[in-house]
């Protein structure tokens, strides 16, 4: 047993507390330092004797969260105090009333908000989504709750090493599912990037380490390139008497990985590995002029790509982000992204919401895009009649969206999510206009509801009192507001129709001498394979289900009872893993702490093979399915259904065949397919299940599904195929679809 040096720990705690005070010093007023000290002492007493899973004193955590809030988000005294105390109500004997008495209403309100949204990964799916909804609710009350929650999550992600593997996967997936998009929307780009990188580190360590190493290897060459690129620009900026700094930073590991994956290219072909940032220090009234002056100097030396100019100074993003982005061609034939902004804009870009407020106090500016967005969130929450899962899904869709800038007939600017249609615009103007929207005129031309808006479009909405929302409308709206209003309207309409259907069902059942009780209703739902009573009644009213068919259901009632019994027996795998092993040749998978051998299925969405990092997922009807941790469906499964995730790892097994997919691209020539299949079948004795090849303009692209023993076997095959003449790229894919 390790002996703890308590004196050393006490010194370390005091040192961390003093560092926090030093960081907070610039914003402290009057008795702020005393209040922070009081909060620190309260937290220290409350968490006395408590330790984190890593073995460290628990108080390290609230101190770290407070430090992130002060240093990396730029929050004030109230938030620092709330961060120091954020776990005391939930984890100790201190009540919220005591917090209010000792630290005031604001601190108590923030801690109450934080306590309500804790324990997100301990419950079932609807409970989990409900917790996410609570968190979003607090966003509309006091943004500081979310900002401290983000600081809390960032520290948890930084210290995830000490957690068991399945917890790492759940917490990391949840982070990428909601917390990183929230940080993005609140303008916390640095925190958003770190959360994404940490997600990759804990779900796909191999890829993370590979990209990190590549960035390190290319650092010297990158630094020289930046120095050469910026040198003539710096001379001109000095001549123009501009006060500036230049930063050249690589893109985040996650964004490089995303680009490699989306564009199917190796690391070496990611051309915009880094961005050069020119930050000008100037007064508020000269900001725009100074930025365009820098742009003019940059484009004097390097040719800009006209399609890659982004002016977020004239029209800032809704999260407050302001900057001028251009992509220019360097002398070495490489595209380089140059970001031009002022010191104020840079601080808002780094620290988001808190920095925005700091500058707002000085400028007395009106409501910002971010505040307008929070107002929209508030409206959305008040109006929403959807389930928690639906609500969170709609909300998430709007967190990462880029924006499109359009105008009303009177020239008023409206900012909508990228991909928004005329119908989204109609709902943005007013819910009732959206409900009765018939079409629109865009730039004086008639367009349908599904027309996708472009920057600068001027839109006039056409309405009709007879028009009503239909199910199809959901296919071409992207904004949360429009989706929520359409769904609510459809539900109301559905409820009216379903009421008629319910009467028909009651009449039919009474003819069969049966009542509409829960048991009979559930059996009807199973019989017609329908999820909810509302759907059943609606289908009966619409005639999709013939009332005569209700008669037939009594004939199979006994059969259904038997099926239900069998399903219940097969589902016992959820409570008690089966001891059965599917024969001596079966690959054995160890699941759970008791390391029992159990039956399982390999998920077809990602085709895991031995050597892959995997997890088990308990399905409702098909026992346990094994997925790769980087499966396309992993984030949603682990963040929404964390309670059904089980640990899984491969045991040593006999050489068995597992299905894997490869995508091969290259130059088309006579005999290329023969060369490829020769390597697969003759040299490596691998069985091919299917092969599809497409050729276009002298290039070919093929998908091959084949059987391999494990990841080493697959890697060897990829390496061999990459050496075939005229083959350009070989990579693993999840499936042939």
Which residues pair with residue 405 across a beta bridge?
415
Q: What does the pLDDT average to over 348-356?
A: 72
Q: Which of 734, 679, 736, 653 is nearest to 702 (CA)?
A: 736
Q: Which of 566, 553, 491 is nearest to 522 (CA)?
A: 553
* Per-residue pLDDT at 215 exceeds 50: yes
In this prediction, residue 277 has a pLDDT band, given cuts at 50, 70 and 90, of very high
pLDDT tens track for 599-624: 678 888 888 888 888 888 888 777 78
**What pLDDT was estimated at residue 423?**
94
300, part of any domain: yes
DSSP 382-415: HH--S-HHHHHHHHHHTTS--EEEEE-TT--EEE
pLDDT tens track for 31-48: 888 999 999 999 989 888
Question: How far apart, in whole angstroms, are the C-alpha atoms of residue 134 and residue 348?
Answer: 27
Check whether residue 336 and residue 282 sit in a common domain.
Answer: yes
Question: How far apart, in whole angstroms, are the C-alpha atoms of residue 665 and residue 678?
Answer: 17
Check whether residue 646 and residue 700 sit in a common domain.
Answer: no
Higher pLDDT, 273 or 256: 256
Check whether residue 219 and residue 355 sit in a common domain.
Answer: yes
Check whether residue 48 and residue 112 sit in a common domain.
Answer: yes
Check whether residue 244 and residue 115 sit in a common domain.
Answer: no
3-state secondary structure 573-604: HHHCCCCCCCCCCCCCEEECCCCEECCCEECC
**What pLDDT was estimated at residue 250?**
81
595, part of any domain: yes
**What pLDDT was estimated at residue 67?**
94
In this prediction, residue 591 has a pLDDT band, given cuts at 50, 70 and 90, of very low
Taking a C-beta distance cutoff of 8 angstroms, is the pair 82, 105 a contact? no
**What pLDDT was estimated at residue 276?**
92
**What pLDDT was estimated at residue 357?**
61
Question: How far apart, in whole angstroms, are the C-alpha atoms of residue 309 and residue 233?
Answer: 18
* Per-residue pLDDT at 639 exceeds 90: no
Q: Which of 520, 548, 549, 545 is nearest to 535 (CA)?
A: 545
Of 650, 671, 695, which residue constitutes the final position of a domain? 650
Pairing relation of β-strands 601-602 and 624-628? parallel
Q: Which of 332, 278, 273 is nearest to 302 (CA)?
A: 332
533, part of any domain: no
Question: Which residues are identified as catalytic?
Answer: 90-91
3-state secondary structure 482-504: HHHHHHHHHHHHHHHHHHHHHHH
Domain that holds residue 721: 658-733
In this prediction, residue 468 has a pLDDT band, given cuts at 50, 70 and 90, of confident
Q: What does the pLDDT average to over 315-336?
A: 86
Q: What does the pLDDT average to over 208-220?
A: 90
Check whether residue 707 and residue 622 sit in a common domain.
Answer: no
Of 162, 177, 200, which residue constitutes the final position of a domain? 162
Check whether residue 57 and residue 114 sit in a common domain.
Answer: yes
* Per-residue pLDDT at 593 exceeds 60: no
* Per-residue pLDDT at 398 exceeds 60: no
146, part of any domain: yes
In this prediction, residue 143 has a pLDDT band, given cuts at 50, 70 and 90, of confident
Check whether residue 125 and residue 141 sit in a common domain.
Answer: yes
Higher pLDDT, 654 or 706: 706
Which of 234-243, 428-437, 595-604 bottoms out in mean pLDDT, i.e. has the lowest? 595-604
* Per-residue pLDDT at 163 exceeds 60: yes
In this prediction, residue 363 has a pLDDT band, given cuts at 50, 70 and 90, of low
Q: What does the pLDDT average to over 565-590?
A: 40
435, part of any domain: no
Higher pLDDT, 66 or 250: 66
* Per-residue pLDDT at 595 exceeds 50: no
* Per-residue pLDDT at 317 exceeds 60: yes
Q: What's the longest Cα–Cα distance across the chain?
A: 95
**What pLDDT was estimated at residue 567?**
47
1, part of any domain: no
Taking a C-beta distance cutoff of 8 angstroms, is the pair 447, 440 a contact? yes
Check whether residue 706 and residue 592 sit in a common domain.
Answer: no
Q: What does the pLDDT average to over 96-104?
A: 89
CATH code, domain with 300: 3.30.460.10
Taking a C-beta distance cutoff of 8 angstroms, is the pair 701, 722 a contact? no
**What pLDDT was estimated at residue 135?**
62
* Beta-sheet strands, E only, within 253-331: 274-280, 303-304, 310-311, 324-329
Q: What does the pLDDT average to over 533-549?
A: 79
Check whether residue 236 and residue 325 sit in a common domain.
Answer: yes
CA 459 to chain centre: 32
* Per-residue pLDDT at 326 exceeds 90: yes
Q: Is 599 exposed, middle or buried (0-12, 13-18, 19+ CB in 10 A)?
A: middle
Higher pLDDT, 388 or 274: 274
Element (H, E) at 64: helix 60-67
User: What number of other Cβ atoms are within 10 A of residue 2's Cβ?
Assistant: 5
* Per-residue pLDDT at 121 exceeds 50: no
* Per-residue pLDDT at 337 exceeds 60: yes
374, part of any domain: no
**What pLDDT was estimated at residue 415?**
81
**What pLDDT was estimated at residue 127?**
54
pLDDT tens track for 645-691: 777 777 655 556 788 889 898 888 888 888 888 888 877 777 888 88
413, part of any domain: no
Sheet containing 437-442: give its strands across: 445-447, 437-442, 459-463
CATH code, domain with 94: 1.10.3210.10
Higher pLDDT, 674 or 270: 674
In this prediction, residue 292 has a pLDDT band, given cuts at 50, 70 and 90, of very high
3-state secondary structure 418-454: CCCEHHHHHHHHCHHHHHCEEEEEECCEEECCCCECC
Check whether residue 96 and residue 151 sit in a common domain.
Answer: yes
Of 311, 340, 363, which residue constitutes the final position of a domain? 363
Q: What does the pLDDT average to over 53-78?
A: 89
* Per-residue pLDDT at 514 exceeds 90: no
pLDDT tens track for 184-204: 877 788 899 999 999 999 999
* Per-residue pLDDT at 83 exceeds 80: yes
Q: What does the pLDDT average to over 231-249?
A: 91
Taking a C-beta distance cutoff of 8 angstroms, is the pair 271, 334 a contact? yes
**What pLDDT was estimated at residue 590?**
55
**What pLDDT was estimated at residue 557?**
58
Q: What does the pLDDT average to over 417-432?
A: 91
Pairing relation of β-strands 335-342 and 274-280? parallel
pLDDT tens track for 683-695: 777 788 888 888 8
**What pLDDT was estimated at residue 368?**
60
Which of 20-24, 421-425, 571-575, 713-717 bottoms out in mean pLDDT, i.e. has the lowest? 571-575
Taking a C-beta distance cutoff of 8 angstroms, is the pair 397, 478 a contact? yes
Q: How much is the mean pLDDT over the chain? A: 80
**What pLDDT was estimated at residue 119?**
47
Q: How many domains does the chain have?
A: 4
* Per-residue pLDDT at 592 exceeds 60: no
Check whether residue 239 and residue 344 sit in a common domain.
Answer: yes
**What pLDDT was estimated at residue 289?**
94
Q: What does the pLDDT average to over 333-360?
A: 80
């Amino acid at each position: 047993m390790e002996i703890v040096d308590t004196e050393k720990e006490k010194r370390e705690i005091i040192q961390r507390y003093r560092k926090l005070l030093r960081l907070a010093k610039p914003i402290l007023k009057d008795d702020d330092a005393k209040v922070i000290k009081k909060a620190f002492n309260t937290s220290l007493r409350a968490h006395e004797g408590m330790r984190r899973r890593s073995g460290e004193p628990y108080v390290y955590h609230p101190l770290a969260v407070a430090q992130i809030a002060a240093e990396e988000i730029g929050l004030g005294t109230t938030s620092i105090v709330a961060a120091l105390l954020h776990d005391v109500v939930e984890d100790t004997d201190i009540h919220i009333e005591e917090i209010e008495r000792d630290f005031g209403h604001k601190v108590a309100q923030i801690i109450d908000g934080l306590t309500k949204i804790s324990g997100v990964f301990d419950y079932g799916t609807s409970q989990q989504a409900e917790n996410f909804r609570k968190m979003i609710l607090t966003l509309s009350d006091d943004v500081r709750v979310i900002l401290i929650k983000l600081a809390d999550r960032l520290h948890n992600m930084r210290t995830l090493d000490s957690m068991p593997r399945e917890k790492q996967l759940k917490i990391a997936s949840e982070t990428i599912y909601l917390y990183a998009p929230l940080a993005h929307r609140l303008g916390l780009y640095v925190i958003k990037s770190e959360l994404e990188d940490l997600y990759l580190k804990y779900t796909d360590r191999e890829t993370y380490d590979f990209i990190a190493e590549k960035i390190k290897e290319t650092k010297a060459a990158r630094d020289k390139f930046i120095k050469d690129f910026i040198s003539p620009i710096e001379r001109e900026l000095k001549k123009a008497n501009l006060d500036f700094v230049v930063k050249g930073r690589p893109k985040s590991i996650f964004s490089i990985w995303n680009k490699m994956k989306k564009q199917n290219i190796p690391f070496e072909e990611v051309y915009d590995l880094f961005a050069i940032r020119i930050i000008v220090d100037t007064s508020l009234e000269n900001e725009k002029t100074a930025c365009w002056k820098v742009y003019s100097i940059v484009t004097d030396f390097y040719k800009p790509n006209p399609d890659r100019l982004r002016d977020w100074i004239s029209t800032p993003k809704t999260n407050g982000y302001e900057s001028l982005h251009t992509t220019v061609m360097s002398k070495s034939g490489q595209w380089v992204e140059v970001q031009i902004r002022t010191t104020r804009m840079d601080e808002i870009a780094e620290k988001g919401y808190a920095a925005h407020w700091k500058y707002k106090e000085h400028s007395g500016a009106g409501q910002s895009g971010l505040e307008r967005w929070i107002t929209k969130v508030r409206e959305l929450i008040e109006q929403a009649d959807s389930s928690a899962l639906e609500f969170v899904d709609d909300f998430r869709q709007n967190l990462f969206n880029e924006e499109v800038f359009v105008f009303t007939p009177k020239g008023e600017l409206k900012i909508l999510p990228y991909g928004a249609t005329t119908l989204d615009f109609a709902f943005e103007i007013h819910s009732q206009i959206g409900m009765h929207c018939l079409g629109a005129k865009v730039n004086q031309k008639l367009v349908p509801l599904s027309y996708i808006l472009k920057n600068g479009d001027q839109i006039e909405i056409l309405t009709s009192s007879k028009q009503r929302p239909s199910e199809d409308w959901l296919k071409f709206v992207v904004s949360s507001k429009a989706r929520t209003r359409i769904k609510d309207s459809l539900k109301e309409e559905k409820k009216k129709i379903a009421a008629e259907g319910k009467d028909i069902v009651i009449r039919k059942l009474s003819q069969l001498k049966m009542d509409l009780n829960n048991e009979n209703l559930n059996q009807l739902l199973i019989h017609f394979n329908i999820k909810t009573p509302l759907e059943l009644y609606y289908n009966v009213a619409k005639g999709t289900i013939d009332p005569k068919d209700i008669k037939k259901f009594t004939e199979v009632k006994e059969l259904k009872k038997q099926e239900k019994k069998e399903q219940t027996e097969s589902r016992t795998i959820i409570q008690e893993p089966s001891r059965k092993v599917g024969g001596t040749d079966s690959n054995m998978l160890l699941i759970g702490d008791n390391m029992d051998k159990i039956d399982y299925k390999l998920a077809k969405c990602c085709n895991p093979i031995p050597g892959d990092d995997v997890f088990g997922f308990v399905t409702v009807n098909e026992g346990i399915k094994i997925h790769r941790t980087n499966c396309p469906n992993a984030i949603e499964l682990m963040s929404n259904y964390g309670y059904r995730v089980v640990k899984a790892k491969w045991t040593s097994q006999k050489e068995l065949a597992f299905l894997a997919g490869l995508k091969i691209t290259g130059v088309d020539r006579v005999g290329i397919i023969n060369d490829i299949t020769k390597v697969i079948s003759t040299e490596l004795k691998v069985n091919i299940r299917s092969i599809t090849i497409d050729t276009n303009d002298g290039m070919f692209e093929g998908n091959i599904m084949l059987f391999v023993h494990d990841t080493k076997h697959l890697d060897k095959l990829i390496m061999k195929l990459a050496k075939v003449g005229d083959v350009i790229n070989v990579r693993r894919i999840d499936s042939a679809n």
